[in-house]
Amino acid sequence: MGTTSNTPTTFTGNSAFSADLQQVITRAVNIASLPIAQMQGQLGILNNQQAELQKLGSKFQSLQNAFDALGEASDANSFAANVSDSSVATASVSDGAQAGHYSVNILNIGSETNTISPNTLPAVSDPASGNISTSSAFTLTVDGQTFSISDADNSLNGLAQAINASGAGLRATIVNVGGPAAPDYRLSLQGTKYAPTSIQLNDGTQDLLTTLATGSYVSYQVNGADTTATSDSRTFSISPGVTVQALTTGAANIDVSEDIGGIQSAIGSFVNGFNAAVDELTANRGQNGGALAGQSIVSALSGALRQLAGYTPDSGSPTIQSLADLGITFDQTGHLQFDSGAFNTATGTSLSDVLDFLGSETSGGFLKAASDILTGITDPTNGLVAGDISSIGSSVTNLNKKISQQQDTITQMQTNLIQQMSKADAAIAAMEQKVTQITNLFSAMEQAAKSLNG
């Protein structure tokens, strides 16, 4: 059978000295709580530092994102294609594209082969249960290549699904040519290429498709050549890195030229991200600085930014040797400024020199150096910011543990004091009660004596 503790949880005295005894308990608890108050102050500082580190981490991650965007913009897609008549065709550029002028004459937009099951086959009023053949095994032939088709549920729906899943490069659909009053469902197969694709489906005894229209190739001429080129797709390449999508027949001119708009915009984002990081670091310096004032990480991150802005290549074009050659310079406040006019001059002189200086995040140049520096800061596992956040997190955990342990010690001390003071108060109250009884007895005796003498 369990026992119930008689230890009081609060002190409620009955003697004349109960208030004094309560003061003893309160004073002892307050003195014992002083280390907790100090640790809670330390905890507040650590929490503020952790929050500021996360804010700094966000600023440097934004800077990393800006470099990623600059890397994408400075890839081989530094060219843009302009089409004189966008109703005839569109054009795009990719790796290998060079500046140039092209003319394209779309002679035939091309078409797809279209087939359907004829009305000589069994009529199907419900494609979920009926089919154009009683067979469950079929042979599909596409340009001489055969595919085995199995229709497990012997329905027109199942047959169409099996054809679509066969990898034959066709689109199988079910169409109702009879209308809602007298449904007549047929199987329709279309080629996916713009070409005279040969399509037939056989159930082992007969062919099941009739060709409604034989497809044709897309045909076109480039730069007035007397040779007609063909394609089974409306998207085709007319030069390394230059792709055209034909929309209709007709002629259009395509001009491919160097495009610096994306690079220029990305550099602007980099400058903005750099300045935002500078401002956040500045807020943590000096006597009235933020939560990280005096912490070594502020100096480390500031040094990383200086290293970024002071990059110089080991080799390369003599015309582009620093960010200043691209129009990126410091002002008196430590912020970067971007002069787009100077950048246009640099790219106008030689875009290739600018791209060589920028390089890429994996192979070399400014972007590689910047990526290495920022990865050392923003890496979520081994980065400088993540390491400091983790270290402070461990300190917060340990401090909370110490606070909890100290609070348990104080609670136990308070419990013991209440128990002791309650006993003392009870003893004092008992003595006070005896004093009252004796005093009352003497008063009664005195009163009785006066009565006898009277």
**What is residue 97's predicted lDDT score, i.e. its pLDDT?**
84
pLDDT-derived band at 84 (thresholds 50, 70, 90) equals: very high
pLDDT-derived band at 5 (thresholds 50, 70, 90) equals: very low
pLDDT digits over 296-332, tens only?
A: 999 999 999 999 999 998 876 678 899 999 999 998 8
Q: Are 198 and 144 in contact (CB under 8 A)?
A: yes
CA-closest candidate to residue 298, choices 174, 190, 371, 385:
385
**What is residue 3's predicted lDDT score, i.e. its pLDDT?**
41
**What is residue 168's predicted lDDT score, i.e. its pLDDT?**
96
Token pair in block for residue 236:
């085709």
Top pLDDT among 3 and 430 is at 430
Highest mean pLDDT among 16-30, 210-224, 421-435: 210-224
Whether the per-residue pLDDT at 288 is higher than 80: the answer is: yes
Whether the per-residue pLDDT at 162 is higher than 80: the answer is: yes
**What is residue 9's predicted lDDT score, i.e. its pLDDT?**
59
Q: Are 139 and 201 in contact (CB under 8 A)?
A: yes
Lowest mean pLDDT among 1-15, 32-46, 181-195: 1-15
Q: Are 295 and 284 in contact (CB under 8 A)?
A: yes
9-78+260-454 CATH fold: f41 fragment of flagellin, N-terminal domain (1.20.1330)
Top pLDDT among 63 and 152 is at 63
